[in-house]
């Protein structure tokens, strides 16, 4: 009664899923495969990739987006978060870290907006030391306490025994690499 034949039901079920896949993934996938990296974009270095893994490990993506919206849609532009991002800005992002939540500000251009290593390390160690209203977690395990600091160590403040680990420094390197302030080159029409 439901259908003339049962195989029609199964064919319909598979066809609807495939149609959706083709529309949302298949066609855009082919279309976007031809998008080259923006000329101003460079691949991540080894340190930056390691920092990116720390960014993923600590789940930064759950509170910070990496996508900037155009003027006329939200106020990303007025908040100085950077020009609207385009597909060519993300060619080296694997996995993508676009994010869906802005419990904290967008970070696509944090490297341009706030390049200070000192600030970032202090902020990672205790966000409320530099942003009193912040509800960001602290990441003390990215730092270690040392009795004697050598010249290669990066202490939190001059004379401090709290020293940044390689993980904190690489995470900072990644944040610094989040900089898509180069001008966009549009595809030829």
Pairing of strands 143-145, 162-164: antiparallel
In the complex with another protein, the residue whose CB is nearer, 100 or 152, is 100
In the complex with another protein, the residue whose CB is nearer, 43 or 153, is 43
In the complex with another protein, the residue whose CB is nearer, 115 or 153, is 115
Q: Distance between CA atoms of 136 and 124, rounded to whole angstroms?
A: 9
Output the smallest distance, CB 144 to another protein, in A. Answer: 13
Query: What 3-state class would DSSP assign to 45?
Result: coil
Output the smallest distance, CB 147 to another protein, in A. Answer: 20
Contact call for residues 176 and 111 (beta carbons, < 8 A): yes
Output the smallest distance, CB 172 to another protein, in A. Answer: 14
In the complex with another protein, the residue whose CB is nearer, 33 or 46, is 33
Output the smallest distance, CB 71 to another protein, in A. Answer: 6
Quick one: tokens of 24?
A: 């949302």
Q: Distance between CA atoms of 143 and 156, rounded to whole angstroms?
A: 9
Inter-axis angle of helices 166-177 and 46-57, nearest 10: 100
């Amino acid at each position: 009664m439901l259908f003339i034949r049962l195989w029609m039901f199964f064919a319909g079920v598979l066809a609807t899923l495939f149609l959706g896949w083709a529309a949302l993934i298949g066609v855009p996938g082919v279309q976007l495969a031809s998008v080259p990296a923006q000329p101003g974009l460079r691949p991540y270095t080894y340190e930056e990739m390691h920092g990116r893994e720390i960014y993923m490990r600590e789940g930064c993506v759950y509170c910070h987006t990496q996508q900037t919206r155009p003027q006329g849609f939200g106020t990303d532009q007025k908040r100085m978060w950077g020009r609207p991002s385009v597909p060519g800005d993300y060619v080296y992002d694997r996995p993508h870290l676009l994010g869906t939540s802005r419990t904290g500000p967008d970070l696509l251009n944090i490297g341009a907006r706030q390049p200070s290593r000192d600030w970032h390390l202090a902020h990672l160690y205790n966000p409320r030391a530099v942003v009193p209203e912040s509800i960001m977690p602290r990441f003390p395990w990215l730092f270690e306490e040392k009795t004697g600091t050598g010249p290669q160590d990066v202490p939190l403040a001059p004379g401090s025994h709290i020293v940044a680990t390689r993980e904190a420094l690489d995470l900072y390197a990644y944040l610094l690499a989040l900089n898509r302030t180069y001008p966009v080159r549009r595809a030829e029409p």
